[in-house]
Amino acid sequence: MIISGMRKLATIVFLLMLLIVGCKQVEQTDSASETAETSAEAAVDGNLIKVKMRMYEFDPDPIMMKAGEKYIIELTAVDVPHGFLVPDLGVNVRVTPGEVKRVSVIPQEAGTYEVKCHVYCGEGHSNMKGTIIVE
């Protein structure tokens, strides 16, 4: 009786470990498509723009830039995990509260670029949009 109980426990622990390893792999695959980030400790060699993400907005909005200049966008999430996706500038970053992520961009062409949150963050997620204006 005790032995069969221990076997059950061992099986459960084993399955849990499989689950955890499986989740980690999914996470890694998921982040593989993210934009390479600049380390938050690295020296800032461009215009630094700090952007806060919260339900359901980007702050500041719009984000102003000049074509041909280098920018470091520093992203933080205030409440829950959010995403910062700007397909036209090749930016794809996911940020969890407590993290500081930096990504560098050099917009080449003037225009208006849509920023979207691509990490589900609650009821208003699909309306969480922002704008980058490049002059």
Q: Select 22 or 87, whichever has its Cβ closest to ligand CUA.
A: 87
Contact characters 76-115, ligand CUA, x per CB under 6 A:
------x---------------------------------
- Site membership for ligand CUA, residue 75 (CB under 6 A): no
Q: Select 30 or 45, whichever has its Cβ closest to ligand CUA.
A: 30
In contact, 55 and 63? CB cutoff 8 Å: no
To ligand CUA, the closest distance from the beta carbon of 69 in angstroms equals 27
To ligand CUA, the closest distance from the beta carbon of 135 in angstroms equals 26
- Site membership for ligand CUA, residue 128 (CB under 6 A): yes
Q: Quick one: which of 95, 105, 117, 132 contacts ligand CUA (CB under 6 A)?
A: 117
Which distant-in-sequence residues (6+ apart) come within 8 Å of 127 by Cβ?
56
- Site membership for ligand CUA, residue 120 (CB under 6 A): yes
**What residues make contact with ligand CUA under the rule CB under 6 A?**
56, 82, 117, 119-121, 125, 128
